[in-house]
Amino acid sequence: MTSAAGEAADQPSLAVAFVAPLIYAISAFVCLYPLAEKDVALTAAAAALLGAALASLVARTRVRTMALGVLALLGVGSSVLAHRLALDSAPLAAALGPSTALLVGNLGALGLASLCFALGLRTLALRRRIFSLLEVVFVGLSFAQLVVAHRFGAINRPFELSASIIAQGGDPTSALLLIGACAAVLIVTLLLHERSLWRSLLHLSLALALLLFVITSTRLLGIPEPPAGASGLGLRPDDKPGKQDQDQQGQHRKQSSHSDNERLDFRDNYDNQSRQVPLAVVVLHDDYSPPTGLYYFRQTAFSQYNGKRLVSATEAGVDTDVAPSFVTHKTSLGEVPNRQGDRVELDTTVALLAEHTRPFALESAESIEPLQNPDAGRFRRVYRVTSSALATRLPDLLGRELGSPAWSEAVRAHYLQAPQDPRYAKLAQEIVAGIRDNVRDDRVARALAVSLWLSREGTYSLRSGHSHADDPTADFLFGDRTGYCVHFAHAAVYLLRTLGIPARVGAGYVVDEAARQGGSSILITGANSHAWPEFYVEGVGWVVSDVSPAHSLDPPPPPPDPDLQHLLGEMARGIKPLPQSEDRPLVPLLHAVRKLRDALLRGSLAALLLGTCWLYLVKLWRKLAPVFSRRALPRVVYRAELDRLSEVALHRRFGETREDFARRIAETSPSFSRLTERHLASAFGAAGAFDAEELRQLRGAVAGEVRARVSWWRRWLGALAPWSWIRSR
């Protein structure tokens, strides 16, 4: 039977043994701080400190490792049971009062649970190194749950952390980076298992230097950009086409000079993992309620039929109401028709949180003007848009003519080009046949009927499968009619064009009016990306006639966080999100932290520079010492050749004798064995009894053998490394 001592792993370094209990205490406090009273969190931290400290003693006992793990789990379970019993105890509540009884129960239960957990986990980690991974998980989860509410770009959460920082004019992201850096330092410290205290300190210093560089350079590099919306609508520069579409993509590139962002992608069974990530915030300058109850922010339009799908137009004179790129000065996009007062002029400010291929605007935009960015660390671009927004209900457009009299025949034909598949025309006539007789010939009524029919007959789902077909839209429309916005928009436009109605697909973002919640800010996330059909009404311009499927296999997107929406709106205006009070306790702390950060950065760079110079000087001296030495020549020659071998990663191991080391590397340098013998003979023999010429010849022989058997690039890398001589012994 093996003893418990036989199960134990190598003892950790002194630094780890001293710091580990403190790490447990910090992690326990961080884990419970958002969940319990401060007194309870402090008690649990103290208990975890005690448990981790006692673990070094328990690990040396003869109790089996498995038994220790079971006992720790039983202790944690017992504390949970005791907590429930204490909460259900009427005599305890009567004696201490309900609030005091609750506090006492939490203190006792969480304190005991922390003690048992820390004692058990730390003991297991000391016995077997594999359990150190559980320690890492514990520390990582403790810090992760503290900031988990900050995910998806919610800079206003967690409230306990963010509110006071924002109130003082700071950015919570800096605090989160600091928390992450602290967690990383604690994890690195736990993983230090070197026997040597100095090696542990060296590793920790390198980790701290790296983390310091990340923290201090993050502001210079900017806040990390939210991940792509992956909508396939060409809205973001990093939107990529699906795998199923790569064959067609190659063919498309041969036929057109469009980039991937100039076309819509039909994708199969994909999941948008970034639906809740904020991409932009729009601030309305005046109150505006859209007649459809939805705000449509158009970024691009797809009107040119390429034989399979609609892509961005390459012909002149079409889709001129879409900005081709971001502007550097106020730019007019053209006057939007408003013959009968169907539109209202509205100004908006758009602040982008992520890069886009071009600006988007509330339909229909008349001009775009760049603005000064009020927060360059948060927003990528800020610009002002003047839109002529539709204020008339779609049924009120009945009786209007479609198309523009200013269009040429080529432009009109451009907006009427559709697939030659006769099934489109047949289905379009069937839809029109269902319209009431008195409006059946009205082309606006026909356009609305197409959208209503698709809404009634279609099913929305991201898990569709039509991209493999030669015509994905036909596969969708004449198949199961299950798809997402790209399928519905294409189907509607093809049916409208078959009926002689000029139409195109618009793409951008759509937001429900209810998401405003009475404010003037509109938060746009990846879930709002959308494509929709549009048709042109004379005297009104492009009108959105969206399809809203009555059946959906996917859950609706979550509503925006109202606090975050308001906060980002205030930031876009350049206003401090919270009023500045006279009592601002964080201001001195923030200034002190900035000064400390700058001092640490300068000191670290200076220390790094001085340390590197010192290492190079020592290395150079050890190489040149044989030239100047007389009495200690055997020792300095032997040391210089040890440094040469160390440069090519040949080191003497712990516990290995010099003779054994020489025999082990004899294949690389046979002459090093004789040099070792001469060094030992001089060290243990009579002083001065050595042949200087022989030593120099042996040195040259070792150098030649290393050059012959080790690649030049390894030798050069070793020669350039200032620390290579440290491992020579």
Domain ranges of the chain: 4-221, 243-573, 609-727
- For residue 149, the model assigns a pLDDT of 57
Structure tokens at 406: 């200013």
CA dihedral (286, 289, 293, 297) in degrees, to 10, reads -30
CB-based burial, 384-406: b 16+ in 10 Å, e otherwise? bbbbbbbbbebeebeebebbbee
Rounded CA-CA distance 653/661 in Å is: 8
Both tokens assigned to 259: 């980039």
Residue 168 tokens, joined:
């003082």
Q: Are 161 and 93 in contact (CB under 8 A)?
A: no
Fold held by 243-573? C8orf32 fold (3.10.620)
> Which residues of the chain have a pLDDT value below 50?
1-15, 194-196, 217-224, 229-230, 239-261, 578-584, 586
Sequence-separated (6 or more) residues with CB below 8 Å from residue 590: 168, 170
User: What gap in Å lies between CA 245 and CA 716, rounded to an integer?
Assistant: 48
d(CA 561, CA 159) in angstroms, rounded, equals: 13
d(CA 351, CA 279): 9
Q: Helix, strand, coil % (nearest 5) of the chain?
A: 55, 10, 35
Instruction: Say whether the peptide bond before residue 132 is cis (omega within 30 degrees of 0).
Output: no
Backbone phi and psi for residue 83, each to the nearest 5 degrees, phi listed first? -65, -45
- pLDDT reported for residue 249: 39
Residue 378: per-residue pLDDT: 78
Strands 331-332 and 482-483: unpaired
Look up residue 530 and give its DSSP letter: E
- Helices 98-127, 14-32: axis angle to 10 degrees equals 150
Tokens representing residue 705 in the block: 């053998």
pLDDT at 37: 75
What CA–CA distance (Å, rounded) separates 587 from 597?
A: 15
**Residue closest to 282 by CA, chosen among 183, 198, 389, 201:** 389
- Produce one character per residue of 336-355: b if its CB has 16 or more CB atoms within 10 Å, e if not: bbbeeebbeebbbbbbbbbe
For 46, the token pair is 């103290």
